[in-house]
Structure 1
Amino acid sequence: MVGVPKPRRETRSMPVVAMVGGGQLARMTHQAAVALGQTLRVLAENPGDPAAQVSPDVVLGSHTDYAALREVAQGATALTFDHEHVPTDLLDKLVADGVNVAPPPEALVHAQDKLVMRRKLSELGAPVPRFTEVQTVDDVARFADQVGGQVVIKTIRGGYDGKGVVLADDTEQAVAAAERYLADGVAILVEERVAMRRELSALVARSPFGQGAAWPVVQTVQRDGICVEVIAPAPDLSDELGAQAQQLGLKLADALGVVGVLAVELFETTDGALLVNELAMRPHNSGHWTMDGSVTSQFEQHLRAVLDYPLGDTTARAPVTVMANVLGAPEIPAMSVDERLHHLFARMPDVKVHLYGKGERAGRKLGHVNVVGGIGDRADAEGVAALRERADRAAHWLSHAQWTDDWNEHTADD
């Protein structure tokens, strides 16, 4: 008797998401894609870039080269971003060629161009610091005198991690900073220095269907313009102000037509108001805590959103989660990263480590750690302080091979 082969079951091929940029955000988005049965296609400049090290589907090229952009987008369900630096005219051309760019160029420009963003948010009635465009240094002097001298000079495009931002304490400093930028042909704006209590971040996501989701509002801690720590949720944030920040994020995502994750960086002023500082339309440093502290990480959510899947649950898994960035030490330690990991895990086995595959360099973001509060951890000031100390201790050890509390890994009993 001849056996009759069973008919093969038809399977739907999984969608392809392409991401412009091969940095750590693309690397962690690829990790989320693997869990969803997908592969993230990456446009990376170098084979050693963080995402290029792990993704089997890599196009090497520049984000300013249309041919490279077209190649990475070929056959992809959606094209999204690890950074916002793709020229707007190239994005418009991609859309005209039928590429599903998510977020679309008309949304992304608000994360690329600070002046466009400030004007649009003002038009929408969103709270922003007072600002003005700068054509000449006289514009800066006039504005600085108007607001009391303390201002911020910002490049309209291209600044990040403190780059392209100058804090001026008086009109003379503001004019000097503006002169340097204008002499180099760099477009700038000037805005008032805000009397703030702290910086917050409202992270939300939006799908093409229009579904929105918001994570708990977090506090971000900056040092030299770089985020070094995130506390989720923000301590001592009233339910009213937290809800206001989340609703603002969702409103902006909808009004701007965002597809994917949107980070709304906020100032909480000393009188309890919220002002929008920056926008990012991609996974963001302030959302790294979600990898271990939320039911759905920002990276999975970004993929869900750009593919128009139903969005995931954003509930926090613990009363408090603290993220600390691992920044390169001034001098590279003699101890290998592998040995540092060994000692960290021996002493702090609950710490979740995420390294980016980068070479060590002073101040460089090499990775981050998440410390998720357990059942016995408290969300009051003392409990939050304890978790922050542990996160800082772990991150500092990984970057410096030194314990902040002078613990000796070779002689200690515990």
Structure 2
Amino acid sequence: MSDRQERYDFHLTTEQEERAQELHDRSIVIDLLFQGPLSPSVIPTNLSDRIKEECEPLREDPMAYSALPAKRLRQLSVRGELPEFKDEWYRSGITAGNRELDLSSPEAIMTSMGEAQEQFDRFPWLVKALTAADIREAKRNNLKAGILTAQDPAGLGRNLDLLEALHGFGLRVLQLTYNNQNLIASGCMEPANGGVSAFGMKFICRLNELRIVVDTSHCGARTTLDACRLSTQPVIASHTGAEAVYPHRRCKSDDELRAIAATGGVIGVFAMPWFIHEDPNATTIDHVLDHIDYIVRLVGVDHVGIGTDWPMSDVDWSLVYFKEHIAPKLGFAQGDGPSTELIQGLERYGLFINFTRGLVARGYDDEEIEKIIGGNWLRVFEQVWGR
């Protein structure tokens, strides 16, 4: 089935379809929580089965069993044995997407740095985005840009010097905490809602000095408000939703959304079926667009972006296992974590144009759409990283 046949039905006219395609093609498109470009539906079934056989001896080690499939997919991709990796990224039209570092432990830091750098070294079409100009140049040259980000800084401990080393490697966006409490702040799943600690104040100051963007996506409400008060640079939420649209703890209140916008920051709306709508099996891209619409009305079109966070570069059976055995250990409520549910209209990254098509359907003009699908992120990058 072709991409055009798979596209979500927004009831666009032929003229609107042509406008959306032209706009998507010419724009800088940024997904700031880009788990792709692979997704379960583009991974060959025989490959998924082969990886499952390899994983079976690891069943007694849940973390290793869960992590191996994604690791194998990365290895196959960089060796050129999984052409779907490049094909799907180019089919999506995404100019820049994050390449995530794992800073949860010293061992994870070393491993993920090596894995990320291998992609930049082995893919001639992928460049490391250190400045906003790198993203613009990638677009001009029909290349793709990878933005180094991280979600869980727990492995840094109190060593602020490591931040400087990571910035030198290319880290450009860092979240303060991932769901739970750490030395820096309280996450969104912490009942105490403790906010930013005394050390966290120093941490945010150092992020500002190094010109690393402060990300509050998995932060608690008070942490988000504290970060916006303390930071001298724009604060973002790379992937979240509007609590007023769907009351989930991973979504942000109106006060948080206003505070982020007041810093000059951007709120990236995610495409996580169980975080944006009450029925994860009947969640569509229209529900994602409802969150975008709400935030635009609340804080203005200059402060909204996209950070899908879904689907994952993984295989279906591994995602089911992750939800049952791993997600609860990461602070997710029972049954409330990554699995096989998909947004109808974003079943794979090659359908990313459905964001542009949906925004056309909802009456946004070209300038507004360009901002939402990438321009607003680029503005923040220019301000924080430099042009």
| Fold conserved between structures, TM > 0.5 | no
CA radius of gyration, larger in: 1
TM-score (norm: length of structure 1):
0.28
- TM-score normalized by structure 2? 0.29
Greater share of strand: 1
